Amino acid sequence: MPITDLLERNSKLYGNEVALVEINPEIKEEQRVTWKEYELIQPTSRTFYRRQITWSVFNEKANRVANMLIERGIRKDQKCAILLMNCLEWLPIYFGILKTGAVAVPLNFRFTGEEIDYCLKASDSDVLFYGPEFIGRIEDIAGKIKHNTLLYYVGDQCPSYAEDYYRQVSNASSVAPLILVEDTDNAAIYFSSGTTGFPKPILHLHKALMQSAQMEAIHHETTKKDNFLCIPPLYHTGAKMHWFGSLYTGSRAVILKGNSPEAIFQAVSNEGCTIVWLLVPWAQDILAALDSGRLKIEDFHLSQWRLMHIGAQPVPPSLIHRWRQYFPNHKYDTNYGLSESTGPGCVHLGVENIHKIGAIGIPGYGWKAKIVDELGTPVEDGEVGELCVRGPGVMVEYYKNPEATAEVLKEGWLHTGDMARKDEDGFIFLVDRKKDVIISGGENLYPVQIESFLSANNKIHDVAVIGLPDERLGEIAAAIVQVKEGMELTEEELRQFCIDLPRYKRPRKYIFAPVIRNATGKIDKPKLREIYGGERLVEKQNQS
């Protein structure tokens, strides 16, 4: 069945129970409202510490979004993009799109205007929902967006060129639209990296989303009594597919707009959260706060917190050992996945396998995995090869890109581009990545884009960007800069030059040295990593 059926079911079975809570730590705690109260408030003051929504209202809002889109001519398989920070509106908009039979297209809120424009075109999006944080970026590309694109502004003081989301959705019917949506229908397009550094649109079916929901509930033994704390951005398959476990079981979830140790502990304590998914930097920050005494476990109600799991980047085993010292009763899991595999879980450690910390685990529920050589032949245990996965969550295709699809989808197997080995017990360990994508704090950085930007500096002769290990972020971007002969260039000049880059893309380290290239003219990044200390973090993990 399609993923939307779960929302309909929860509305009927648990209509008056809270489905989602939004917490904004930057606002005073006493400001709490329900969704109904929130909509009656004047637009100039729609910011609160805590908002909540029941399953019935969640479903009603999704129906209103669907009917609003249908009234404007949106039909099955058309594409509707979402560019929002985490908020209580995010998921009702997502499910409203799905209820029309259209395809939801979540966009990374860190995309530049140019990247937003590229993704809208690459996905054939006819609608864009966006929030106040993105007004400047949308105005920058307004002349490039196709003239008939529907722009829905989700915020206060709607720009003249956009539709007021709150006004339009409140006038739409709350009755479920009479659209037949099946599990074999297209459901969502997510963006991931290509080998050139440009995002690729990844098409998934409803049945892939449904499988991820069932798998999440099984992997983490989620029940109706659980309460999931969602911190990562909802545009990402990781956050959304982990929340799908809550959708599958009809259990509550909390959307936290912040990731400080204090905010996380306060949310877990006040809301009674039982499952928390963290990125490595956040776990590191929590441990540092506990070590320093700034954060004290006894100041919070944390006894109900039963599971901490991590994904999106390699996890240092030392981190989990330290975590267990503070939380000896916590179950732990790590999840491996790609946007091409409907996010996390195609390989996972499993809560019962904490003795195998350092591995990414075994094939997830409904999945198969193998490690192959360059000819596609499975390698022996202990040998390194490319990790391939196969299961019900494999993408349909890179949207309208058959050549790129054929490169990674072969006889039903998804070739991940990650190098791995398997031990004698069948547990998989990542060894390296084929691609040069840098994963810093759970976010993908594309060296080609950063190199291209730096190359515009008239003092730079050549430049290469590589990932170097970092204890907190997993990796950081380091730029090897070869200065033009006879010129001088300082690190401070480069930092000022990179001000126009999004903060997360700016190199954190600069190395002034020759850029080594191979005989074919390609940058020899393995050699550069070897010279400048870029040995793989996962190799260090496997040795620890």
Assign residue 459 the CATH number of its domain: 3.30.300.30
Banded model confidence at residue 529, pLDDT cuts 50, 70, 90: confident
d(CA 476, CA 464): 14
pLDDT at 236 over 90: no
Q: Classify residue 322 as left (phi > 0), alpha (psi -120 to 50) or beta.
A: alpha
Q: How many residues does this entry show for the chain?
A: 544
Same domain? For 373 and 338 the reply is: yes
Same-domain check for residues 215 and 175: yes
Res 44 pLDDT > 80: no
The per-residue pLDDT for 448 is 72
Q: Report if residue 109 sits inside a domain.
A: yes
Q: Is residue 267 domain-resident?
A: no
Residues 236 and 326 both lie in one domain = no
User: What would the mean pLDDT of 461-487 be, rounded to a whole number?
Assistant: 89
Give the whole-angstrom CA distance, residue 273 versus residue 230. Answer: 10
Structural domain includes residue 275? no
Q: Are residues 70 and 177 in the same domain?
A: yes
Residues 6+ apart with CB under 8 A from 143: none
Range of the structural domain that residue 164 is part of: 4-258
253 lies in the same domain as 384: no
Q: Is residue 263 part of a domain?
A: no
What DSSP letter does each residue of 124-181 carry, written as one string? TEEEEEE-GGGHHHHHHTTTTS-TT-EEEE-SSS--TTSEEHHHHHHTS--SPP----
Residue 360 in contact with residue 349, Cβ under 8 Å? yes
Average pLDDT over residues 138-163: 92
Question: Does residue 152 belong to any structural domain of this protein?
Answer: yes
- Name, of 19-33, 91-105, 110-124, 335-349, the range with top average pLDDT: 91-105
The Cα–Cα gap between 38 and 53 comes to 10
| Predicted pLDDT at 456 | 83
What band does 420 get if pLDDT is binned at 50, 70 and 90?
Answer: confident
pLDDT at residue 277, rounded to an integer: 93
Beta bridge partners of 440: 443
Cut 0.75: pTM above it: yes
In this prediction, residue 520 carries a pLDDT of 43
Residue 272 lies in a domain: no
Shared domain check, 190 and 84: yes
Domain count, the chain: 3
- Of residues 239 and 255, more confidently modeled: 255
The reported pLDDT for the residue numbered 37 is: 59
Q: Domain check: are 357 and 428 in the same one?
A: yes
pLDDT of residue 194: 42
Tens of pLDDT, residues 286-318: 988 998 899 999 999 999 999 999 876 667 777
Pairing of strands 331-338, 343-348: antiparallel
CA 499 to chain centre: 25
Reported confidence tier of residue 41, pLDDT bands at 50, 70, 90: low
- Pair 149, 35 in one domain: yes
**Domain-located, residue 90:** yes
Per-residue model confidence (pLDDT) at position 3: 96
Residues 404 and 334 in one domain: yes
CATH number at residue 331: 2.30.38.10
What is the model's pLDDT at position 440? Answer: 85
Nearest one of 27, 131, 136 to 86, comparing CA atoms: 131
pLDDT of residue 379 exceeding 90: yes
pLDDT tens digits along 319-332: 888 899 999 999 99
Question: Is the same domain home to 429 and 443?
Answer: no
Q: List, as own/partner pairs, every contact residues 350-353 make where C-beta atoms lie below 8 angstroms and the sequence separation is at least 24, other chains included.
A: 350/219, 351/219, 351/220, 351/221, 351/307, 353/427
Question: Mean pLDDT throughout 493-500?
Answer: 93
Do 497 and 480 have their domain in common? yes
Q: Render 34-47 in DSSP notation, one character per residue.
A: EHHHHHHS-GGG--
Give the model's confidence band at 437: pLDDT under 50 very low, under 70 low, under 90 confident, else very high: confident
